[in-house]
A and B are shown apart, each in its own frame.
Chain A
Amino acid sequence: MYVVNNSFVIIDLIAGNIDETITSQNGFIIFISKLKFKYIITLLYFSGPMRKVYMDYSATTPVDPRVLETMKPYFLKKFGNSMSLHSWGTEAKEALEDSREKVAGLMNAKPKDLIFTGSATESDNMVLKGMVYANKNKGKHIIVSAIEHHCIIETAKWLERQGVEVTYLPVDKYGVVDLNRLEKEMRKDTILVSIMHANNEIGTVEPVEEIGKLCRERDVYFHTDAVQSYGKIPIDVKKMNIDLLTCNAHKVYGPKGVGALYIREGIEIEPLLHGGGHEFGLRSSTVNIAGIVGFATIAEIQKKEMNSDAIKLTKFRDNLIKETLKIEDSHLNGHPTKRLPNNANFWFAFIEGESLIIHLDMNGVAASTGSACSSESLEPSHVLLAIGLKPEEAHGSLRLTLGKYNTKEDVDYVLEILPEVVEKLRKISPFKRGW
């Protein structure tokens, strides 16, 4: 029934007799030819398993092994509740306050101005809702940029339905907010301006220092969502005139389920979660000590490694951009230089992003897209539309985000695979150039 054969596979490949190919994890490629009365199965052994390259670090990151080590005791022996009075509780409380100092330290904030939350989404929700509630006397107007993360945009839309007035600040073709426009949009009853530090999709870094200065002059609170920049590029809440700042652990090699919110001393804000009065009464919930300790460890690590990471990743990024733009009809999204060290974002004419992602995945490469087809709502990315891309252009978008575990070989591999995949999809597409 089975004929195992090596020598005919090339001939079969040329003749198109191969009906199925299966790539196994251990590096075998199995060709199956279905003939009239028998199957011919051919095994071909390649040098090793398929290369796996993770280039979706802006989605999430693996936990740094050093982080995991510091977390372990807090699951097993030091499991206490930080609110308990006994030694287990004290131990937890000490770990919590020690962590607060470390996480706050990386943004030059006072430890007592920082609270831990369950996620960046929670922090962002709390800022918008909590500031609107606590500052009703001042007014009911807030300003957010058009390229904020969904957790800001959707919260703003919900607030609009509650009667709050929201201005969505447009951005230029690179995704940078216009300071003059911001100044014009600020009103007497404006409570809050929320503009992200760095964009999660296109990597553009916003001029937060100038925005902060402008807000300070006008007596308007300034919040920045620094999820993508915390631990990657320097943040100084004092120098940057930041009143509120959101960050989390899992985007920088820490555990998932831990966020933080910096609230400058003296700012009135309402909590989302009422209860036992944890986190200075601003966020009730038994404190996730293990996660927070992990967050603190990564803050300490990134304090030392942030700069060397950034230098390495910028080099990789620039190489990725330079080489990818050699592909015909490919374009860079975001700013050429004012961007995160780890972000490269493109759009390729005539092809669709989800197909691109799945083809890359079949080749072992993890990436993401802003294509309508890949979203639950079937709408293209609001960020790509905001920088002026047409829906069909956003359709062919690709985001590659690097991290500290990427190597030069990873970049080379992606640069080898990507043009092949783009070409393959362009062959299927009805739209094309240069037939």
Chain B
Amino acid sequence: MKESFGLYSKEVMKHFKKPRNMGRIKNPDGVGKVGNVVCGDVMYLYIKVKKDKKGRSIIFDVKFETFGCVAAIATSSMITNLAKGKTIEEALKISKLDVANALGGLPKIKLHCSVLASDALVEAIYDYLTKNKLPISEDLEKRHEQIKKETEFVEEKFKDYIKMEKEIWNVKEK
């Protein structure tokens, strides 16, 4: 079998074939739901946070669900790899470039997929901080506003899917 598929690197294909940390966390501490305005991909990212001995908040579990292409699935898988075990502060520093580089690069046309992954992580952390009434930096607030705007655009596009999914999820929760 070919190890690279034309435009994708070996590492991208590895993560696509065998995504790490795929799935949903029950009762997560933070959820990031983002959509991509460019192509319409959607990603949900769940985090579990706990304090370590030094009192730092550590992302000790992270999972993702993605509706999207090869690059979207691979970047989702990679960001969970990168974020796992990091403190909140460290995790916020993970950039889209870190994700793309860790994957051995992405085709130019697919770079926007790595934005989706880093946005999802930012949103999950923002959600965690808000829920726990923790301080939010001005910079994070700004990023959140920007992501929210783009996500709303995509959510409008996918409102039927989201509605259907919510109904099913609610039934299950009960």
Residues of the A chain whose Cβ atoms lie less than 8 Å from the Cβ of B72: 352, 355, 373
Is A138 an interface residue, CB under 8 A from the partner?
no
Residues of the B chain whose Cβ atoms lie less than 8 Å from the Cβ of A352: 41, 67-69, 72
Stretch at the interface among B49-57, B139-147, B164-172: B164-172
Is B93 an interface residue, CB under 8 A from the partner?
no
Are B39 and A431 in contact (CB-based, < 8 A)? no
Interface string of B143-162 (1 = CB under 8 A from A): 00000000000000110111
Of B19, B39, B66, B69, the contact of A430 (CB 8 Å cutoff): B66
Is B70 an interface residue, CB under 8 A from the partner?
yes
Of A376, A391, A427, the contact of B109 (CB 8 Å cutoff): A376
What's the minimum C-beta distance from B20 to chain A, rounded to whole angstroms? 11
- A371 and B5 CA atoms in complex are apart in Å by 18
Q: Which residue of A lies closest to B71 (CB)?
A: A373
Are B65 and A433 in contact (CB-based, < 8 A)? no
Is B128 an interface residue, CB under 8 A from the partner?
no
Q: What does DSSP make chain B's interface, helix, strand, loop or mixed?
A: mixed
What's the minimum C-beta distance from B127 to chain A, rounded to whole angstroms? 15
Of A25, A376, A391, A428, the contact of B73 (CB 8 Å cutoff): A428
Residues of the B chain whose Cβ atoms lie less than 8 Å from the Cβ of A349: 161
Of B23, B67, B69, B109, the contact of A431 (CB 8 Å cutoff): B67
Are A372 and B40 in contact (CB-based, < 8 A)? yes
Number of interface residues of B (CB under 8 A): 35
Of A350, A354, A380, the contact of B70 (CB 8 Å cutoff): A354
Is B134 an interface residue, CB under 8 A from the partner?
no
Of A354, A380, A432, the contact of B69 (CB 8 Å cutoff): A354
Q: What does DSSP make chain A's interface, helix, strand, loop or mixed?
A: loop
Is A239 an interface residue, CB under 8 A from the partner?
no
Residues of the A chain whose Cβ atoms lie less than 8 Å from the Cβ of B43: 430
What's the minimum C-beta distance from B26 to chain A, rounded to whole angstroms? 12
Residues of the A chain whose Cβ atoms lie less than 8 Å from the Cβ of B16: 355, 358
Number of interface residues of A (CB under 8 A): 35
Are B39 and A373 in contact (CB-based, < 8 A)? yes
Are B17 and A392 in contact (CB-based, < 8 A)? no
Residues of the A chain whose Cβ atoms lie less than 8 Å from the Cβ of B67: 350-352, 395, 429-431
Residues of the A chain whose Cβ atoms lie less than 8 Å from the Cβ of B5: 358, 361
- A350 and B44 CA atoms in complex are apart in Å by 13
What's the minimum C-beta distance from A16 to chain B, rounded to whole angstroms? 11
Interface string of B24-50 (1 = CB under 8 A from A): 000000000100001111111000000
What's the minimum C-beta distance from A362 to chain B, rounded to whole angstroms? 7
9 A–B contact pairs at CB < 8 A? A352-B68, A355-B70, A355-B73, A378-B109, A395-B40, A395-B67, A427-B23, A428-B22, A429-B67
Residues of the B chain whose Cβ atoms lie less than 8 Å from the Cβ of A430: 33, 42-44, 65-67, 165
What are the 6 closest A-B residue pairs judged by CB atoms, nearest first?
Answer: A373-B69, A430-B65, A354-B69, A430-B44, A431-B161, A429-B67
> Known contacts A352-B41, A358-B70: does B65 contact A392 (CB below 8 Å)?
no
Residues of the A chain whose Cβ atoms lie less than 8 Å from the Cβ of B1: 22-25, 50, 362
Residues of the B chain whose Cβ atoms lie less than 8 Å from the Cβ of A374: 69
- A378 and B157 CA atoms in complex are apart in Å by 15
Are B17 and A378 in contact (CB-based, < 8 A)? no
Are A391 and B165 in contact (CB-based, < 8 A)? no
Residues of the A chain whose Cβ atoms lie less than 8 Å from the Cβ of B44: 430
Is A216 an interface residue, CB under 8 A from the partner?
no
Q: Which residue of B lies closest to A358 (CB)?
A: B70
- A373 and B70 CA atoms in complex are apart in Å by 9
Are A433 and B41 in contact (CB-based, < 8 A)? no
Is A187 an interface residue, CB under 8 A from the partner?
no
- A50 and B158 CA atoms in complex are apart in Å by 37
Q: Which residue of B lies closest to A29 (CB)?
A: B1
Are A435 and B172 in contact (CB-based, < 8 A)? yes
- A406 and B33 CA atoms in complex are apart in Å by 43
- A372 and B40 CA atoms in complex are apart in Å by 8
Could you tell me which residues of chain B, from 109 to 159, have a CB within 8 Å of some CB in chain A? 109, 157-158
Further contacts, 15 of them, CB under 8 A, given A378-B109, A429-B67: A350-B161, A351-B67, A352-B67, A352-B69, A355-B72, A358-B70, A362-B1, A378-B38, A380-B40, A391-B157, A428-B19, A430-B33, A430-B43, A430-B66, A431-B162
Interface core residue of B33, B39, B41 (most chain A CB under 10 Å): B39
- A432 and B122 CA atoms in complex are apart in Å by 24
Residues of the B chain whose Cβ atoms lie less than 8 Å from the Cβ of A22: 1
- A25 and B109 CA atoms in complex are apart in Å by 31
> Known contacts A361-B5, A428-B73: does B168 contact A433 (CB below 8 Å)?
yes
Interface string of A344-367 (1 = CB under 8 A from B): 000001111111001001100000
- A280 and B128 CA atoms in complex are apart in Å by 74
- A358 and B1 CA atoms in complex are apart in Å by 12
Are B42 and A373 in contact (CB-based, < 8 A)? no
What's the minimum C-beta distance from A423 to chain B, rounded to whole angstroms? 13
Are B158 and A392 in contact (CB-based, < 8 A)? yes
Interface core residue of B19, B40, B164 (most chain A CB under 10 Å): B40
Q: Which residue of A lies closest to B113 (CB)?
A: A373
- A380 and B39 CA atoms in complex are apart in Å by 8
Residues of the A chain whose Cβ atoms lie less than 8 Å from the Cβ of B19: 428
Q: Which residue of A lies closest to B8 (CB)?
A: A358
Could you tell me which residues of chain A, from 13 to 35, have a CB within 8 Å of some CB in chain B? 22-25
Is A51 an interface residue, CB under 8 A from the partner?
no
Residues of the A chain whose Cβ atoms lie less than 8 Å from the Cβ of B70: 354-355, 358
- A350 and B169 CA atoms in complex are apart in Å by 15
Residues of the B chain whose Cβ atoms lie less than 8 Å from the Cβ of A395: 40, 67
